[in-house]
Amino acid sequence: MSAPSHLPIATLRGRLALLCLVATFVACRAAPSADTDTTDRGGGDVVFALEAEPEILNVHLPAGNNTLPLLVNAPVLLGAFRVNPDFEYEPVLVEDATVAERPFTVTYRIRDEAVWDDGTPVSGDDFAFTWRTYTDPDNEMTTRVGYQLITEAEVIDPKTVSFTFRKPFAAWRELFFQVLPEHVLAETNFNRVWDEELTASNGPFAFESWDQGNQLTLVRNDRYWGKSPALDRIVFRFIAAGNSAAQALRAGEADVIDPRPTATIVEQLGNMAGVVSDVDTGPAWEHLAFNLNHPPLDQPAVRRAIAHGIDRGMITREVLQPVHPDLAPLDSVVYVSNQPQYRPTWADELAYDPQESLRLLTAAGCERGDDGIFSCDGQRLSFRYATLSGDLRRQEFFEIIHAQLRDVGVELRAAFADAPVLFGDRLPGGDYEIAEWAWIGGPDPFGGNDIWRCDGELNFTGYCNRDVDDLLERSDSVVDPDTRAELFHDADALIAADVPVIPLFQTPTLLARRQGLEGLEANATSAGSTWNTEDWEWSE
């Protein structure tokens, strides 16, 4: 699954057993002490500090299709498979899934023990309902890729369901990443459900409450059919970004933080007693996107000149390597660097070469003005640069890129916006010229196909290359992984030649926890850091 990452991101069951003093930011947890009985794996609460608050909780709609709602959803609503830290698919709700080729059919055998938190079995009807929800044109789904290929759902028995496709779909394991409860949602407007609460759970935790502006609480699901979670609650506390997360951990006001790492935060955490932290190469990849409907950005020579005028290596060294020394510029838009299929296809197209920038612009007939800025066909190379307002690191990227491009005769003008405006209005509406944000890569690159298809629902650039469309269409149907990877590499090379975007780098991830909180495992995939909360527990 690919999702726009706001990083830091913008998207009621029972009562708290402890008094949460939100105003004074006292931690709402009961960590085991020396004289606490931990025979039932410890119990207690964990406070997970987040740098921002979700807009909504429905991860299937555009406003909820980003990192924060996914972190909250992962312990509550499970799917057929989940992605582990090794980029492998693990069956969760299903015991197994079998594939037949003619016609292409996927049959799921659902675990007999899998139930919703009200005791209703997770069934084939739920899988079929999920498919119908995705293909209902009245529902404002972020993407319908894969689901729209299904022509028939057959519920063979309560725990077995089969889906027939009109053609092979190689990324079938990406479907049903979250299964929807038919008995809860059948009579609802899906565009309005789960804005402020999650009304069902088939996972280790269930939704308890959302005190907007302060915190969101999940409570242990006592009907969970899998490994019984040790914790009583997970409290997602909303705090200011950056250093405040580390300060909350230092002060005992948070037990886990998953902030955007900076050199300052990494250094702070390294000096904190009783804190364990891990930095990894994450799945989110930052990029510059060109609006190809805005001349002269419709000219490949202009885009290539901008690409050669940006020193991605310098940005990586100065801003990111102090956080993660192994980070390097990203040279693909289909695979991230920690996937085995990764190939640096874009390296030549994006090589820093300011003299080549000047040559390209001059050869295209562009003329440099007295102020040092080129004009092409009478259009000055001065562009509005959109990114997330209040995001200090992205603003730092802007300052560096602004200075670098000024040297090759291109001007950038800051046009920052908050998340609802940027991701809800300006990008989908094409109201930008150059924009910088992140996509979240998944183990299967099919989720990014709609970014590059001519009429893709996630295509915010206006890019269109029918040869790329053909390769991506074929990649959907080729099941052999090696053959399929070559199709993606071929598409990547064509996109690189057209330069509709400039991939910059993967952003590092940081997961830090209080010593004594065990079971957390960093997951540098789109699954996120809450992928295995049933394993979290306080040790003595």
Question: What is the average pLDDT across 261-288?
Answer: 88
Q: Which residue has the higher pLDDT, 87 or 98?
A: 98
- Pairwise CA distance, residues 417 & 423, whole Å: 9
Which CB contacts under 8 angstroms, 24+ apart, belong to 14-21? 14/208, 14/219, 16/208, 16/209, 16/217, 16/233, 17/232, 18/45, 20/215, 20/235
pLDDT, tens digit, 9 for 90 and up, residues 163-216: 999 999 999 999 999 999 999 999 999 999 999 999 999 999 999 999 999 999
Query: Which amino acid, 74?
Result: A
Q: CB–CB of 171/110 below 8 Å?
A: no
Largest pairwise CA distance in the chain: 79
pLDDT at 431 over 50: yes
> Cα-atom radius of gyration of the chain, to the nearest Å?
24
The rounded mean pLDDT for the chain is 89
pLDDT at 366: 97
Q: Which of 15-24, 279-288, 297-306, 331-340 has the highest mean pLDDT?
A: 297-306
pLDDT, tens digit, 9 for 90 and up, residues 372-395: 999 999 999 999 999 999 888 899
pTM of the model: 0.75
Structural domains in the chain, sorted by start = 32-62+191-281+508-538 (3.40.190.10), 81-185 (3.90.76.10), 283-507 (3.10.105.10)
